[in-house]
Amino acid sequence: MSREHHMRTLQKEDAIRMANDCADAGNRKQAAYHIETAMLILQAERDEIGRQIARLKRLHADFTGLVDG
């Protein structure tokens, strides 16, 4: 796991924990902020996974001569 991925994972876990803590304390505005932070991190992870999949598909096509429509 890269250092960047590890830090993002910790940030995501902290944001989720803080959202839960704030929600339990009745602080809806602060909970919403932490939920949004966690969602942004998850979206960045999803985008990175998409880039990795596209790169692997191109590599696979290069090796097999197949083109994925």
Break the chain into its structural domains and give their ranges.
3-64
In angstroms, rounded to a whole number, what is the distance separating the alpha carbons of residues 10 and 7? 5
Q: What is the pTM of this model?
A: 0.72
* Per-residue pLDDT tens over the stretch 1-54: 688 877 888 898 999 999 999 999 999 999 999 999 999 999 999 999 999 999
According to the model, what pLDDT value does residue 29 have?
Answer: 95
According to the model, what pLDDT value does residue 5 have?
Answer: 76
